[in-house]
Structure formats: C-alpha cells, structure tokens
Chains A and B, each alone.
Chain A
Amino acid sequence: MELIDYDAQIPNNVALASDDRLKRALEQWHPGYLNWWNQMGPMGFNDSEVYLRTATGVDPKGWAQFQYVKMPEYRWGIFLAPGDPERKIGFGEHFGEPVWQEVPGEYRAMLRRLLVVQGDTEPASVEQQRHLGATAPSLYDLRNLFQVNVEEGRHLWAMVYLLQRYFGRDGREEAEALLTRRSGDDDRPRMLGAFNEETPDWLSFFMFTFFTDRDGKYQLEALAQSGFDPLARTTRFMLTEEAHHMFVGESGIGRVIEATATAMIAAHIDDPTDVERIRSLNVIDLPTLQRYLNFHFSVSLDLFGAEASSNAANAFAAGLKGRFNEHKIDDDHRLTNSTYPVLRLEETDIVNRNEPALSVLNARLRDDYANDCTNGVKRWNKILEKAGVDYRLSLPHVGFHRQVGEFQMAPIDPSGQVHKGVAFHDIVEGHLPSSDDRAFITSLMQPIYEPGSYASWIAPPKVAIDNKPGDFEFVRLHG
C-alpha cells in the first residue's frame, strides 16, 4: 500500500518529494491556484469550518476521512489509484501490449489535448457554483456543495499533475492557462459550452450534478481505460469522488420531488398541472421540474461532441481513450470491422443506421450515458408513484434542443417528432424553463442556516453524510 504523506504541502502518493523538478513546478503553480480559488471559489465562506471528506489514502479504508476544514486549507493533492504492474493495453492498435508509463512521442499532442479539455471542466464547475452558498436550502446541502467544490478543485490538480509531470514546458503553460480562463467570460471562456452556462439556483445545481457530472463519469471512465497508465490511475481515483457529486444531484432532485408530492397530498391537489396552487405552497411544480430536466439533459448531451468523430476514433486507435467499461465489452477491442447503430436525421424521419463502430464512438458513449440517466429518472418516478401523485418525469429525445452534432438546431420536440419548416426556437421554447419559471425558482432561494432545518421546497435527506443525523452542524458559519 502506498501511503499518502498528509503532512506535506501537497499530499500525494506519487513520491513527489523525490522529484525535485516536478515539486518545484507544482509549488510554483500552487499560489496561482490559491489565488484562483480565492477569486473564483465559493464566495463568502472561506472562514467557515466545513465537515469535509478528505482522502488520506487511496485504499478503501483511507480515502473517506471526515473532519471540519476551512476550504482554503483543504489539502488538495495528487492521488492515483493503485497500479498493476501486469496491466496491458485493452483496446486499439496496441491491444495486448504493456501499458505506457511515459507518453509515447507520436501521441503527445493528442494526449495533451485530452487532458486540457478534461482539466478545463473542473475549475469551470467551481466558477459556475460560486454564488450558491448564499441561498443554500440547509447546512447539509451547503456542505455537499462545498464538498463538490473542493473535489472539483482536486480534479484540476490531478490533470495539472499529469500535464506538469509528463509534458514539460508545454504542460506547465497549459496548467497556467487553466487558471486564466473563466466560465462564461466573453474573452476567455471555458472550452466546452455547458461549462459556460450559469448555475444560478439550487435546482440548476442539482440538475447539473445529476446530468453534467454524469457526463464526467462517462468521460473519466473512458479515460480510466487508457493505455497511458498514469492517466488511467488518476481518473480511476477521480471516479470514486465523482460518485458523490452524482449522489448530490440524484438525491437532491429526489428530495425536491418528495417535498412537492408531500405538499400536494397534504393540500389535496390532484392535478399536477395546477401550477399556481402548487407554487403557492412554496414547492416546485413538476412541469417546471420537467423543463429544467429537458434543458440540462440536452446541454449535457452536447458535451459528448458530434456522433461521428475522427478525434475520438484516433484516440481509441491510439489506445488513449477507450469505451465505457471497455474491459467488460465482449468484442475484438479494435473495431476494425464492427458497426454500431446510430440515430440519424433524414428529412422528417429519425432513423437508426449501422455505421463503422470506430467512427461513432461518441455516439456509443452518449447512448451509455442516456441509458444511465433513464434509470435515474425511473427512480425519481418511483417517489411520485409511492406518494400517489399522477405525474411522470421523462427524458426528452436525444435530438431535442441540440447545439452540437447530428441534431444541431434541428426542430425536434421532446417526443422525437421532427417539425419540418418550423424554427428551432419555436419548437424548444415551451419545453425549456421560461423567465417566469426562473423567477419563481429564484424567489424560493432563501438561505436556511439553522442545523436540522430545510427549505420548504426540499425534503430532508433519508441518510445524511457519514452516518450523521440530519440536524448535524455540517457547516460552522462563524469564522
């Protein structure tokens, strides 16, 4: 077992102390990182003690230690999942060869690009969530937000470690640039669209952690298959942290649904579309929830890129980025002759066409993702079913409200029907949150900072974190 030196300035299990050049590079980057955190991290809570989970080891018993920490003093660091000296490349042209411990020269540029794109998403979410602390529905939720924030920060560290350790001066420059872009900034925006969207309220945050962080799960899992072993081990450990982010989203929306259902039943409201009456109970009506869901699902689908992608094909062939659960797929792992069914838009029809599997890897990853989302929505619907509320949430069709790929700006409604001759905006408008919806949600966003109290629009959690009771003081606000 590799032990993490937690007393070091940069806790790590990569023998940082014995690599002077890398240590210097990271120590030079560190103040810039802290500066970024202080500028763009959670606003107004730097002096609060937050009950955070911190890794002290990558083994199952060591990586989830809970204690009160002030966020700027959180020990970000570099943790790699344990390595396997026997590990072989699991796909592509180098299938069966030993994994690489150094970057293969011919794939240097491609790999660097993969790391930079992944790395750029991590500080972006922190920036998007910057203002949410001011309107948290409970201390429990506030703590979960901050946990997500510090771990996104650590994921940035993970990518910066790879850039600085394996890419020399180029890597150091890319690491600097990660601290200079800003989410939503006109001049120097973050690299991917969804990461420049605002996360203005907690409903958006929960949707973001359910849908957008789940994209992270699929991207990280595909990278965890990489033939470049340091990347595989880095992302493997990141996945264990990412799971908590998705939990925040899934349970968050689940609790919103529960609060709505409970209030509707108590007020004897049978009609879930009786929006005015439901809103007067200070809970979120289900049709509004559906519109938020439509927005976040479609925006997150765009993160997978175009269905057919030569970048993805090249990365796969090179052995750098595999498919989701590559090692569990039963095929030749080279995809030289296999096909994969892809949805295509032909006139007014959406048809399923078999295409060379290697060229449509993005579509496959997106389908795995969409299937995972479907199951999550099913679990939300069980809450409604159990409460006896006659309404079911659903995922919109993958062609709805798309800005990227095959269905870009196509007039497709949430049911998947193509409306030829109708403008894209006219189709999507009624199915996305309106300014009225957003104004209502904003009106609900009042902070609740009393331990054990929860905003009217969200139910308390069934299980709080670390076996703590719901009224535990998850954040100590006094500095």
Chain B
Amino acid sequence: MTTAGLVRQHLIDPEVCIRCNTCEETCPIDAITHNDDNYVVDPAICAACGDCLGPCPTGAIDSWRIVNTPHPIDAQFEWDMLPANDAEVDDLEEQEADTLDSEAGELLALAHQFAPKTPPPASASTPHLNVATRRNPIVATVVGNYRITAPGTDSDVHHIVLDLGGDAFPILEGQSVGVLPPHDPDDQRSPAIRLYSVCSPRDGERPGHNNLALTVKRVIDNGHGLPGLASNYLCDRERGDTVSLIGPFGDTFLMPMDPASNLIMICTGTGSAPFRAMTEYRRRHLPAGPGKLWLFFGARTRAELPYFGPLMKLERSLIEIELCLSREEGIPARHVQDGLRDRLAELKVLLDQESTYLYLCGVKGMEGSIRSVLTEGIDDWDLREAKLIEEGRLHVETY
C-alpha cells in the first residue's frame, strides 16, 4: 500500500513474538521467514492480505510502519524491538490506519461527519477490514432478491442475498461492504463504489452457507433527475447474476458481544440493516441473554416499513419494538423522536446502566431531532453524551 512514495510496511514485533511459526505456516505466498532470532516479513513479497493476523496467538504480527524505504529482512533479523516511526510520517499512519481504501474511507467519513468519534464497544469482536479490494474484489452470486416493502408503495426496498462461494469474507454486524456498479468500458475513470450495511449476522443470512444479505432501497431520483446507479443495478439483479464486492469496512459501529449489554437501536428505512444483523445474532446465539434489545423504527406506513412481517414475528422476550409511523391512516403521525419522547422515562433508567449502548442509523435529518429530545428530556445529556462516546456506547451512522 503506497501513498505519495510512502510504503505501509508489515512488520512483526520481536518483543512480543514467541516464534511459534504459525504466521509462516499460514502465509499463502511465503512472505514470512525466520532465522534463529526473529520472524520477519519480506516487504518484496507481502501483499498485506491479512491471512496471518487471526491465527497469531500474540498480536505481534499486527505491526505496521509507514516508511519511505521498507526495512529489508536482513535488518529485521537483527532487531530486538521495532524501530520508531519516521517522525514526518506519523500523521499519515494514523490516516492510513483508519481505512486502507481511501474512497470507502471518504464515504464512511461522510456517513460519520456529524457523528462523534466513538471507539467500538469494549467487548466487540475485532473486525476484518479490506479483505477484498478494488484490485481484488470478491465476485458474489445473487441467490435471492426479494422486495420487502408492500407492492404499490413508493418505497421499493429489496433484501438481496449474496453467495460468496469459496471466498472467505468475514463480516461483523454493523459493518458495510462496497459494491462496484457496472461501468462504461469507454469511461477511463474507475467506477464509483457504493457502501451498503450488511443486514445479516456474522454467520450469514443462512448459517453455514457462506453468504450475506444487503438491504437496498431503489433510488428513483438521485437528486439530479437520474435513477440511482448502484441501487437500481442491485435491485434488478436476478438469481445467478454476479456482483463485485469490496471491503468489509467500518471498525467502530459494531455490536458488543457481552450478552448482558442492552442495545437501543433507532432507525428509519434501510437504516434498519445493521440492526437486523445485530438482532438476528442475538436471536440465534443468545436468545436468553440478560441484555435487552429495544428498536425504534420509523417509516411512513406499515407497508413501507422494511421487514415488517418478520419483525412482528420476533419474540417480545427478545426485542421490544416501537414502530413510529408518520402517514398511516387512522392513527396520529409519529416520528422516531416522538417514540423516543413517549418512552423517555424508561430510556433514562436503561441509560443509567453501564451495559447500555445507543445506536442511530438512517437519514441524516433524524439525528438533530433525536438530539433535541434527549437534550430536553435528560438534564445532563451533554455530559452523559460525552461519557457514552468516550466509553464506545454511542454510535451514529447517517446519510
């Protein structure tokens, strides 16, 4: 990975490494070698695929430096400890570490632009990032494409199941993937990628079959009078068609693995995707966990609410759902902020617990209204918010 002549070099921390040989055994392209003293990565061979990271028992393998010239292996053999970073490239490293794909990084940055810089929940699993890149995307096959809003409504939302074949593509709940839409071969520029939250849990839409699912809303007008390129492409895919994926992306909007944690999830429309993944994980693996799930879900009508049917079938002991419908005939209009206001007393009790996590995902507009409700209803909200952010317990992703 190079940026302006700088190289992101993969190294092994000799102070932590126990020389167990696992990394050398794992590396698919023999980039790792050793002598009597050290295990080292050959910068001329390593492709930063990350295969060696998970199996390393010590964490020594997950060491990176941004350098002008890569440290050769002969020098690495001599090290007792890792060298310091070149001073002038420190900032760049931080920037690089956030995400390896700058384009996806920009999109994620946009989704988080008004969001606080929150660390992931303490008990979250460590995500894999950039397993597939634009140069080496994963080609997935569509094995299902279902409309999940009622026919005849304006909101055409699809649930698309993608089979990943024999490729490893580990996803955690809350992560996104990049989709490469079709590309005019005469156009010299690279096609723009689109990010979609994965709506299936880590073990897939169908466990044991190496697949994942996306929630995609067909965009009729992208603001320039044109249909959305990627969303129409995806919604029109049929069984057997292929789609190129890159990623995964996102290392903070993740779910806590502690079964005692309470998740308050607030969303509109396709913002429900990550929450479907989180809920499904808990339903499959921790159905009797002591933690509480609480979903505030906003849509215009029932018919336009994605996953309305399956959502209503979930056990009340697993999740509590507060539907907020703004244009349903015969009932007063409610938005997610109204739902939140109605349940503020209970919310406060839950927020007092250190095991409670708050997530927002959906259209950007809801962020401000929700903030107002919380600021008005909870005396010391500003202080609490800062604490929640610091503790990795408040996560916002809006678009």
Task: Spell out A's residues near B (CB within 8 Å).
Answer: 1, 3-7, 49, 51, 56-57, 59-68, 217, 239-240, 243-244, 246-247, 250-251, 372, 375-376, 382, 386, 462-463, 465-469, 472-473, 476
Contacts and interface: CB of A to CB of B under 8 A. Distances in A.
A375 B257 contact: no
B59 A250 contact: no
20 contacts: A1-B210, A6-B203, A7-B284, A60-B53, A63-B54, A65-B202, A66-B257, A67-B125, A68-B259, A239-B22, A240-B55, A243-B20, A243-B21, A462-B15, A463-B13, A463-B16, A466-B125, A467-B59, A468-B122, A473-B122
A472 B122 contact: yes
Contacts of A217: 20
A1 B15 contact: no
Given A247-B58, A463-B58, A6 B258 contact: no
A375 B54 contact: no
B166 interface: yes
Given A61-B131, A463-B60, A250 B203 contact: no
A62 B170 contact: yes
B123 interface: yes
Given A244-B57, A247-B58, A60 B125 contact: no
A interface secondary structure, majority: mixed
B25 to A, nearest CB: 8
A240 B26 CA distance: 9
Interface string B41-70: 000000000111111011110100000000
B207 interface: yes
B34 to A, nearest CB: 10
A168 B162 CA distance: 42
A108 to B, nearest CB: 30
Contacts of A386: 80
Interface in B1-25: 13, 15-16, 18-22, 25
Contact of B51 (A56, A61, A372): A61
B372 interface: no
Interface in B246-263: 257-260
A61 B37 contact: no
Task: Point out which of B57, B125, B131 has the most chain A C-beta atoms below 10 A from its C-beta.
Answer: B57
Contact of B55 (A63, A468, A469): A63
B117 interface: no
B54 A60 contact: yes
A467 B20 contact: no
B126 A467 contact: yes
Interface string B188-220: 000000000000001100011110000000000
Interface string B105-119: 000000000000000
B168 interface: yes
B94 interface: no
Nearest to A65: B125
Contacts of A463: 13, 16, 58-60
Contacts of A5: 207-208
A217 B128 CA distance: 28
Contacts of B20: 217, 243, 246-247
A467 B126 CA distance: 7
A467 B122 contact: no
Contact of B36 (A51, A63, A250, A375): A375
A-B pairs, 7 with minimum CB distance: A243-B20, A244-B57, A60-B51, A463-B59, A64-B54, A247-B57, A61-B168
Contact of A243 (B22, B54, B80): B22
Nearest to A383: B15
Contacts of A469: 122
A5 B209 CA distance: 9
B80 A382 contact: yes
Contacts of B126: 66, 466-467
Contacts of B260: 476
A164 B155 CA distance: 57
Task: Point out which of B36, B55, B60, B202 has the most chain A C-beta atoms below 10 A from its C-beta.
Answer: B55
A49 B259 contact: yes
Given A7-B207, A463-B59, A463-B60, A61 B123 contact: no
Contacts of B19: 372, 375-376
Task: Point out which of B18, B128, B208, B209 has the most chain A C-beta atoms below 10 A from its C-beta.
Answer: B18
A253 to B, nearest CB: 11
Contacts of A250: 18
A247 to B, nearest CB: 4
A321 to B, nearest CB: 19
Contacts of A468: 122
A3 B208 contact: yes
A251 B18 contact: yes
